[in-house]
């Protein structure tokens, strides 16, 4: 493993996707156990997309060991597509099939974003109310997730905060629904204020196609970072960036 530490940000590189997935699973387990050890509770938000498939399957596989006290974990979502929960594109469906159906967690501990609603704006407002009710604010007024998992697109988007969009500039709402021009679709997403209030943010990125965005993210050049949503992630707590060699290549990082 290669590591680069800058303040609360730790960049961790493993040679292969499998090794990066193992490292990420270990980090997730230790963050959950640490939170439950100190607060008897843990509020996490899951990333969508395809990168976390292997991670969630790995976490599900540990259930026999009892390493993770899932009964004390509440699961939220970092973002959701404008599809019903049984749609193949649904982040909720993906998490259900790879993780939630395989761990001892009650449906009452899982808070899907109601993307099956006609009115996504009201679904976003409803989700914000649920977060305000269920996730305590530890310092200041913004609910403090113990862990927010994120992936990153090749354009540097995180959750559904896309470049050149109103979501990049949102400073008040914690959850917003908006039309994403590059997708021609609506998305519902956690916003940067609530992401940056988290005790731990874990950005898990693999693959050659993300290498340019990773290099811009890790680059100190403000120009390279200017319109990169991932560069706006600066959590109050720990910021872990876990990469495989393919994603880290253009940033000049490599694990042997």
- Residue ranges binding ligand 6PG (CB under 6 A): 47-51, 78-79, 91, 151-153, 157-160
- Is the separation of the CB atoms in 48 and 78 below 8 Å? yes
Q: Which is nearer to ligand 6PG, 229 or 237 (CB)?
A: 229
Count of other CB atoms within 10 angstroms of residue 236: 17
Reference 108, options 80, 87, 84, 130; nearest CA is 130
How far apart are CB 223 and ligand 6PG at their closest, in Å?
23
Q: CA angle at residue 126 from 35 to 109, to 5 degrees?
A: 35
CB-closest chain residue to ligand 6PG: 151
- Is the separation of the CB atoms in 199 and 180 below 8 Å? no
Round to whole Å and give the CA distance between 256 and 15. 6
Residue 168, judged by CB atoms within 10 A of its CB (0-12, 13-18, 19+), counts as middle
Q: Which is nearer to ligand 6PG, 12 or 158 (CB)?
A: 158
Q: Both ends of the chain: CA-CA distance in Å?
A: 7
Q: Which is nearer to ligand 6PG, 173 or 210 (CB)?
A: 210
Tokens at 165, concatenated: 């969009």
How far apart are CB 161 and ligand 6PG at their closest, in Å?
8
How far apart are CB 181 and ligand 6PG at their closest, in Å?
15
How far apart are CB 82 and ligand 6PG at their closest, in Å?
11
How far apart are CB 39 and ligand 6PG at their closest, in Å?
26
φ, ψ of residue 38 in degrees (nearest 5): -95, -30
Q: Which is nearer to ligand 6PG, 78 or 245 (CB)?
A: 78
- Is the separation of the CB atoms in 236 and 9 below 8 Å? no
How far apart are CB 131 and ligand 6PG at their closest, in Å?
17
């Amino acid at each position: 493993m290669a590591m680069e530490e800058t303040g609360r940000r730790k960049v961790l590189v493993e040679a292969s996707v499998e090794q990066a997935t193992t490292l990420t699973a270990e980090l997730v387990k230790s963050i959950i156990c640490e939170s439950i050890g100190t607060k008897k509770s843990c509020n996490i938000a899951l990333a969508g997309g395809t990168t976390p498939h292997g991670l969630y399957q790995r976490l599900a596989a540990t259930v026999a060991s009892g390493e993770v006290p899932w009964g004390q974990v509440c699961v939220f979502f970092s973002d959701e597509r404008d599809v019903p929960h049984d749609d193949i594109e649904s982040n909720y469906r993906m998490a259900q099939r790879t993780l939630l159906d395989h761990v001892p967690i009650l449906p009452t501990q899982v808070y899907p974003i109601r993307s099956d609603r006609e009115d996504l704006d009201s679904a976003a407002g409803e989700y914000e109310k649920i977060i305000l009710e269920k996730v305590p604010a530890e310092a200041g007024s913004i609910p403090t997730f113990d862990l927010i998992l994120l992936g990153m697109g090749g354009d540097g988007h995180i959750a559904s905060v896309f470049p050149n969009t109103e979501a990049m500039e949102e400073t008040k709402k914690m959850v917003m629904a908006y039309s994403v021009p590059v997708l021609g679709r609506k998305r519902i997403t956690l916003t940067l204020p609530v992401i940056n209030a988290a005790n731990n943010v874990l950005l898990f990125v693999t693959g050659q196609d993300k290498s340019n965005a990773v290099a811009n993210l890790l680059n100190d050049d403000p120009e390279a970072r200017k319109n990169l949503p991932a560069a706006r992630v600066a959590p109050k707590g720990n910021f872990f960036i876990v990469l495989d060699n393919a994603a880290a290549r253009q940033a000049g990082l490599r694990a042997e």
